[in-house]
């Protein structure tokens, strides 16, 4: 790789350590309208540890970050499948927690990648690998190959991400989920809030709607779609709005996105309400993992004025 490209990429953004120090000095209230800055607690001490990452050659740094994200994705699935296997949580809750956490946790790691032009492609390897794992798990010839726990084998992965345990289901909602994450990484990356908002609506909004709806929605079903509840819809709006604000504030704190404008939380609330309404559509019309992020991305593009 030409040295001029490496030099320009290194100069394109201040070091992570410097960003962490500025974030600690600035604090979250400037971005969250005075909300407590627990989101950024520990940023100053983290800056010391990030100096080592800044010292790495950019290709090595990006490869290391992608590797860490891939390992983290496997660990997240492993934690929840082990909890379900032990009986500590239900398999339904385990599956939904994988849904809620996988994409946002990946977005939280985006600032660790360099500003090099290839960084988004390296980051995209993580969801691409997960897509290949799901494709392998969903094919009939891939049965077996592990101890059945922790998401390490095709059978375990099917159990972790599917409702019915049928491997064909893996190639529907879960596979679409990973493709949306891949698309948001490649098309939007850290240059736009659109991808972040779409991810928050799909992962957190849709996920918590199901969790809360199952627990609190028995007596408040929507008459036009009895499989959905008012409690679930309220949880969708609250979860998606909170996740959108939190992720955008986090990326803003690291200097990879602009800080939130004063009216951004209200705009995000409106986007979440619209996406919650779309989530009420029967899934046989259009999968939630398609309709929700598409509407979220379109409204984010219109209301947030970002490319």
Mean pLDDT for 71-86 is 91
How far apart CA 127 and CA 142 sit, in angstroms, is 20
Indicate the pairing of strand 221-222 with strand 225-229. antiparallel
- Lowest average pLDDT, out of 92-96, 142-146, 221-225, 245-249, goes to 142-146
- Lowest average pLDDT, out of 75-89, 204-218, 241-255, goes to 75-89
Q: Is residue 144 classed exposed, middle or buried when 0-12, 13-18 and 19+ CB atoms within 10 A define those classes?
A: exposed
pLDDT recorded at residue 261? 93
Query: Is it the case that residue 11 has pLDDT exceeding 50?
Result: no
Q: 265-285 pLDDT, tens per residue? A: 999 999 999 999 999 987 776
Sign for the pseudo-dihedral over CA of 123, 178, 227, 294: positive
pLDDT recorded at residue 31? 45
Sign for the pseudo-dihedral over CA of 15, 41, 256, 191: positive
Nearest residue to 251 via CA among 189, 295, 168: 189
Q: Which residue has the tokens 């496997």?
A: 74
What SS3 state is found at 94? helix
Q: 150-191 pLDDT, tens per residue? A: 455 677 777 777 676 677 778 888 899 999 999 999 999 999
Buried b (16+ CB within 10 A) or exposed e, 243-272: bbbbbbbbbbbbbbbebbeeebbebbbebb
pLDDT recorded at residue 281? 86
Write the DSSP string, 165-217: --HHHHTTHHHHHHHHHHHHHHHTGGG-HHHHHHHHIIIIIHHHHHHHHHHH-
Q: 55-78 pLDDT, tens per residue? A: 889 999 999 999 999 999 999 999
Exposure of 142 in the CB half-sphere (CA atoms within 13 A)? 20
Q: Is residue 303 classed exposed, middle or buried when 0-12, 13-18 and 19+ CB atoms within 10 A define those classes?
A: middle
For residue 266, what are its two tokens?
């209200």
Q: Is residue 106 classed exposed, middle or buried when 0-12, 13-18 and 19+ CB atoms within 10 A define those classes?
A: buried
Domains of the chain, by residue range, sit at 14-22+39-187, 191-307
Query: Is it the case that residue 141 has pLDDT exceeding 70?
Result: no
Mean pLDDT for 208-213 is 96
pTM for the complete prediction?
0.82
CB 83 within 8 A of CB 92: no
Query: Is it the case that residue 120 has pLDDT exceeding 60?
Result: yes
Residues paired with residue 222 on neighbouring β-strands, in sequence order: 225
Query: Is it the case that residue 33 has pLDDT exceeding 60?
Result: no
For residue 202, what are its two tokens?
């799909």
State the chain's mean pLDDT as an integer: 83
Query: Is it the case that residue 35 has pLDDT exceeding 90?
Result: no
For residue 81, what are its two tokens?
């499948």
């Amino acid at each position: 790789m030409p040295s001029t490209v490496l030099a320009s990429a290194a100069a394109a953004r201040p070091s992570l350590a410097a960003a962490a120090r500025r974030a600690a000095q600035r604090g979250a209230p400037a971005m969250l309208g005075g909300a407590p800055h627990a989101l950024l607690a520990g940023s100053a001490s983290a800056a010391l540890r990030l100096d080592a990452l800044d010292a790495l050659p950019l290709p090595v740094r990006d490869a290391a970050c992608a590797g860490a994200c891939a390992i983290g994705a496997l660990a997240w699935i492993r934690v929840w499948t082990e909890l379900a296997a032990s009986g500590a949580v239900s398999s339904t809750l385990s599956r939904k927690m994988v849904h809620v956490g996988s994409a946002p946790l990946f977005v939280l790691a985006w600032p660790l990648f360099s500003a090099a032009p290839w960084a988004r492609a390296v980051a995209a390897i993580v969801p691409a690998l997960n897509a290949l794992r799901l494709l392998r798990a969903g094919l009939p010839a891939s049965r077996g190959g592990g101890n059945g726990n922790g998401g390490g084998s095709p059978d375990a992965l099917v159990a972790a991400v599917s409702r019915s345990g049928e491997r064909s289901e893996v190639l529907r909602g879960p596979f679409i989920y990973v493709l949306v994450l891949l698309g948001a990484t490649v098309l939007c990356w850290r240059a736009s809030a659109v991808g972040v908002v779409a991810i928050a609506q799909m992962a957190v909004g849709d996920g918590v709607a199901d969790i809360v709806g199952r627990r609190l929605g028995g007596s408040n079903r929507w008459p036009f779609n009895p499989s959905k509840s008012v409690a679930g819809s309220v949880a969708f709006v609250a979860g998606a709005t909170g996740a959108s604000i939190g992720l955008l504030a986090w990326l803003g704190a690291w200097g990879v996105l602009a800080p939130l404008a004063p009216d951004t939380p209200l705009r995000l609330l409106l986007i979440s309400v619209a996406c919650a309404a779309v989530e009420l559509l029967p899934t046989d019309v259009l999968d939630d993992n398609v309709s929700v992020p598409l509407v979220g991305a379109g409204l984010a593009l219109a209301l947030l004025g970002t490319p």
